[in-house]
Amino acid sequence: MTAERLAQDEKSDLRVENCLDAAVEYLRSLQHEDGWWKGDLATNVTMDAEDLMLRRFLGVATAQTDAETARWIRSQQRDDGTWATFPGGPGDLSTTVEAWVALRMAGDDPAEPHLAKAAEFVRSAGGVEKARVFTHLWLALFGLWEWDDCPDLPPELIFLPGWAPLNVYNWACWARQTIVPLTIVSALRPVRPVDFGIDQLRAGTPAARKAPPWSLDGGFQLLDVVLNAYTRWGPRGPLGGIRRLAMRRSVEWIVARQEADGGWGGIQPPWVYSLIALHLMGYATDHPVMAAGLRGLEGFTVHADTVGGPVRWLEACQSPVWDTGLVVGALLDAGVAPDDKAVLKATDWLLDEQIDAPGDWQVRRPTLTTGGWAFEFANDGYPDTDDTAEIVLALRRVVHPEPQVLRAALDDAVEWTAGMQSADGGWGAFDADNTDTTPLRLPFCDFGAVIDPPSADVTAHVVEMLAAEGKTGTDECRRGVRWLLDSQESDGSWFGRWGTNHVYGTGAVVPALIAAGTSADDPVIRCAVRWLADHQNPDGGWGEDLRSYVDPSWIGRGDSTPSQTAWALLALVAADERDETVRRGIGYLVDTQRPDGGWDEHRYTGTGFPGDFYIGYHLYRLVFPIWALGRYLGRDRPHHEGAVSR
């Protein structure tokens, strides 16, 4: 290597060092005094439209909340009159319908250009008739849609035993907590009329063709007709008693799962539907359960002042435990001392957040000891394997003043996570063996993931954690590695369930396989490296548009983002790549850094429901670049083995 090239490399490395140091200082400044980190979590305006409609339905709306919510919804409308589910995405029919209805409730005139434009889009996209089931349910609450035209959800589902198809534990945790309250709403069919109609949104589109009656889909459609009639005419005699008992049992189920912050599952859908269901069953808005739920929603509300006036928008969920675990890992990889004051404060906060309470996951794993972490501040009923794996990976490297306490917590977490392995060898996020696809065939299920099968990104994080804990020889780790090898796509990438998308999946799996003992020269790794190199953008970064979940032509394609660039770099550095591809990726991060040490990220890179619901994690743009830069510079190596390793 020439002296000139050496000098260039030294200058480049100095820029990377300075970039990383600035990012770390900025990240440090964001720590809460209690020890945690949390970035805002952005989604789309259905959260805000439904919040406005919820308050109208419960009778707790005020002129101020309506005005601030409506101002926010208007600010998110695009020039073509639509609202999308992610920045830069196409206009979404159901989101636009719900935004239009919410603005009408807030007093906007349908003749105003912004609503007229929105209505024109809705009609051109097939009309309100083509909107999703959830949208139709919200419209039915206000007499804008017929309950008979909504799929029926019988509350008697609560009686189905765990071995029966369609029992509530065959649904993903987020879906079951939504389904149970909706069965009450579906049975009671409330209508609280508003003073406007939605004829402007109708296109006269005929109903979709029914599936053949002898098919499974057709059978469920016929069953839905029967159940609708049953609900419409009202169960009589003993059947009426059974329905009333089912509704009471469902109420007990709902109340038992209310979290300390007043919410359900730490996410918006079960939260709002639980409030509606309980209200319909006689719970006044000042009842302690309802009051706690409404107060909790305020904790998920972001207030801001804009040029047009104050606005309020709702986070679909919050991610402080996840964010804090990721931050600790990133700081340690950036060379921050494992006994650093900020690291220790975060560690103590995380230890206090470890869950020792029971949860629905015990239906499938009744003898397993608790010990995981959840995503949110208060979600003790639903720890998840993804959070737990990442937190173990971070905390096992901390030099704590009470190492025995830390080690005991990690041992419990590792045991719980390993025990949540599904029969096929992979890991889902919240439940084990939540793989029955029967719920997907119901007429109700036209939106979002409703089961929680193993995914490559979650399985990779668990495998990496087991490897770090010295458990590569265990049956759990070997089966997890086999699951990952079997799930590699033909192009060399992996599908990303909780992050966008193949860049995220590949960025998670390659480091995990390397940690578990796969050689960087293995064809599996080489194929993944080639895929990443082939999908690098001309600016040196990586990006993948969220449309890749529904349109394969977008796989690996999209505007470069800091978080996705970092995911690709984490995989390449793990595979011992130090070539021009990596240098250009590092250069992208250095060149796009803001003066304050952070990065801008205008695209969403988080996934709620593939194909339907997406998330902008405001800390991803900072945490993952720090992680990638630290590993590129080798700052993780002095403490890589950890202070509490066996």
Check 92, 152, 384, 386 and give the catalytic one. Answer: 386
Q: What's the CA gap between 144 and 121, in Å, rounded?
A: 19
DSSP 628-640: HHHHHHTTTGGGT
Q: What is the model's pLDDT at position 30?
A: 98
Q: Per-residue pLDDT tens for 142-190?
A: 999 999 999 999 999 999 998 898 999 999 999 999 999 999 999 999 9
Q: Which residues pair with 616 in a beta bridge?
A: 42
Whole-prediction pTM = 0.94
Q: Write down the residue that tokens 């986070």 correspond to.
A: 315
Q: What is the model's pLDDT at position 534?
A: 97
Other beta carbons within 10 angstroms of residue 223's beta carbon come to 14
303 or 234: which leads in pLDDT: 303
Q: What's the CA gap between 94 and 133, in Å, rounded?
A: 9
Specify the DSSP class assigned to residue 130.
G
Q: Per-residue pLDDT tens for 426-484?
A: 999 999 999 999 888 887 777 778 999 999 999 999 999 999 999 999 999 999 999 99
Q: Coil, strand, or helix at residue 518? A: coil
- Contact, 180 vs 265, CB < 8 A? no
Q: What's the CA gap between 193 and 200, in Å, rounded?
A: 17
Is the pLDDT assigned to residue 203 strictly greater than 70?
yes
168 or 646: which leads in pLDDT: 168
Q: Per-residue pLDDT tens for 517-543?
A: 999 999 999 999 999 999 999 999 999
Q: Per-residue pLDDT tens for 573-599?
A: 999 999 999 999 999 999 999 999 999
Which structure tokens are listed for 565? 């660039």
Q: What is the model's pLDDT at position 6?
A: 44
CATH number of 3-41+318-436+452-639: 1.50.10.20
The rounded Cα 423 to chain-centroid distance in angstroms is: 24
Q: Report the percentage of the chain scoring pLDDT > 90.
A: 85
Q: Where are the domains of the chain?
A: 3-41+318-436+452-639, 44-193+203-314
Q: What is the model's pLDDT at position 233?
A: 79
Q: Per-residue pLDDT tens for 255-280?
A: 999 999 999 988 899 999 999 999 99
Q: Which residues pair with 561 in a beta bridge?
A: 542
Is the pLDDT assigned to residue 243 strictly greater than 70?
yes
CATH number of 44-193+203-314: 1.50.10.20
From the CA atom positions of the chain, what is the Rg in Å? 25
Q: Per-residue pLDDT tens for 63-119?
A: 999 999 999 999 999 999 999 999 999 999 999 999 999 999 999 999 999 999 999
386 catalytically annotated: yes
Mean pLDDT of 392-398: 98
Q: What is the model's pLDDT at position 466?
A: 98
By C-alpha distance, which of 22, 113, 121, 21 is closest to 74? 113
Q: What's the CA gap between 124 and 119, in Å, rounded?
A: 9
Q: For all residues of the chain together, what is the average pLDDT?
A: 93
Mean pLDDT of 386-414: 97
Instruction: Report the amino acid identity of residue 52.
Output: L
Tell me, yes or no, if the two domains 3-41+318-436+452-639 and 44-193+203-314 fold the same way: yes
231 pLDDT band, cuts 50/70/90, is confident
Q: What's the CA gap between 17 and 38, in Å, rounded?
A: 25
Q: What's the CA gap between 442 and 391, in Å, rounded?
A: 37
Q: What is the model's pLDDT at position 644?
A: 53
Q: What is the model's pLDDT at position 637?
A: 61
Q: What's the CA gap between 594 and 435, in Å, rounded?
A: 44
